[in-house]
Amino acid sequence: MITLVKAQLASWKASLCRPWRVAALCLALALPLLPAAPVSAAPASLDKAQLALLLGGSWVPRLAAGYTLELKHDKLGRMRLEPTINPFLQAQAEAWLKPLKSRRAAMVVVDPMSGKVLVLAGLRRGRLDPGVALDSNSPAASLFKMVTAAAALEEAGLEANSQLGFVGRAHTLYRFQLKETPRYRPQQVTLAKSFASSNNPIFARLGIFQVGGVMLTNYAHSLGFERRMPFELPLKSSCLVKPANSYGVGEMASGFNRITTMSPLHAALVVSAFINGGHLPEPYIVKRLTRSDGMVYYLGKPHLGPAIISPETCYQMQRLFEATVEMGTARKAFRRLNRDKVLKNLELGGKTGTIRGPDRTELFEWFAGYGRDPETGRTLAVAVLVVHGKVRYANPKKLARRMLKEAFRSPLYAEKKPGAVH
């Protein structure tokens, strides 16, 4: 019996000493000490491009509602998405746009100091569609004069009260008006008055003789034209005409063409650059994207980028914007400001633009401007586009005035946070 037991023990000892069994035993003992593998290979954070790919265009109306959303993704699981949209201002904008009989309309409000989108409303064929505010196929018209004015102030050493001359009518653009030595005695007008009245010959001559096509194109690129801006929703780049001769430079500088296009969101961002110290803000509409366990996948942050316009030029541009409201093409819509309890305390400015579409059946009418409370420093940039058919059913300048009044009527009202989850 003793011999049998000794033989059995010897057999077990021999089997345990085999190399593969020793390795298996060591591995089993070491496994509890090794770090656990991740449950999923999902990234810890997303950038704007990845988030835009995740959301797609179908999320535009849901984000524009302004309320916290819940979504489920196959790999990322359940998530909560918080937009930057102010639901109260958004609802007010939609209430103004919905009754319109215009072919299309859009309204955008942006915080120029951060790029935060507060309102993104639109109308298409009688139905609310915030995607109109992202469409970049609308002719920029005289809004491009903002680019020309900035380039002239920066490169040619002009000021708002600089005297400039032109011949002919202010809203036409003929070749005889662009000759370096006019045949007739030119009329003298200040740069501020030219900007306020949207004088085509003045800005065409600035582009040809004082700025140049190459420099003007560079400024347009710096201000976002022909450049895809990072955004959480589909946003195509604005187009820019390529002038073939000096007359083409004049058409580009004055906005007297139908090839240069931009979106309402881009228009609000260009205005923002002139009131935040010369930075073109990067827009964002998603405040936060978190998983159900609290893990943050995306956090919207302000990004202004480098300064592209000097502070002195920004100051001069604001004088031009103010002239448009006080004595220019927007004066009727902004009249009697001293009787308005809200607007009389604000610094207001803007730029208008009007042009027929490529097929001449539509009339594009713009207003892009801002309001600033000098006491608190709170500033908002607004852009409104209305596309008319045969009849003008709305005035974008008046819509912008109503939005600025509503936004500044009560700071507490404008800063309320959404509570419901949709």
pLDDT tens per residue, the chain (422 residues)? Answer: 444 434 444 444 444 444 434 444 343 334 343 343 333 334 458 888 888 888 877 778 888 888 888 888 777 778 899 999 999 999 999 999 999 999 999 999 999 999 999 999 999 999 999 999 999 999 999 999 999 999 999 999 999 999 999 999 999 999 999 999 888 899 999 999 999 999 999 999 999 999 999 999 999 999 999 999 999 998 999 999 999 999 999 999 999 999 999 999 999 999 999 999 999 999 999 999 998 888 898 999 999 989 999 999 999 999 999 999 999 999 999 999 999 999 999 999 999 999 999 888 999 999 999 999 999 999 999 999 999 999 999 999 999 999 999 999 866 444 443 333 33
Domain with 379, as residue range(s), is 48-414
Q: Are 291 and 275 in contact (CB under 8 A)?
A: no
CB atoms within 10 A of CB 228: 11
Q: Considering the entire predicted model, what is its pTM?
A: 0.86
Q: Please, which residues have CB within 8 angstroms of residue 116's CB and are 6 or more apart in sequence?
A: 84, 110, 283, 284, 300, 302
3-state helix/strand/coil string of 303-352: CCCCECCCHHHHHHHHHHHHHHHHHCCCCCCCCCHHHCCCHHHCEEEEEE
User: Tokens 């790029």 — which residue?
Assistant: 115
Total number of domains constituting the chain:
1
Give the pLDDT of residue 350: 98
Strands (E) across 64-116 are located at 69-73, 77-83, 104-110
Give the pLDDT of residue 421: 37
Is 66 a domain residue? yes
Is 32 a domain residue? no
Is 19 a domain residue? no
The rounded distance, in Å, linking the Cα atoms of 260 and 278 is: 22
Cα→Cα distances 187→156, 163, 169, 209, 328, Å? 20, 10, 10, 17, 18
Is 377 a domain residue? yes
Closest CA to 193 of 216, 161, 219: 161
Is 11 a domain residue? no
Cα→Cα distances 73→60, 62, 80, 133, 290, Å? 17, 16, 11, 27, 12
Give the pLDDT of residue 251: 97
Q: What's the Rg (C-alpha) of the chain? A: 30
Is 164 a domain residue? yes
Question: In this structure, what token pair is assigned to residue 231?
Answer: 């955004």
Is 341 a domain residue? yes
For residue 192, the domain's CATH number is 3.40.710.10
Give the pLDDT of residue 292: 80
CB atoms within 10 A of CB 165: 13
Is 210 a domain residue? yes
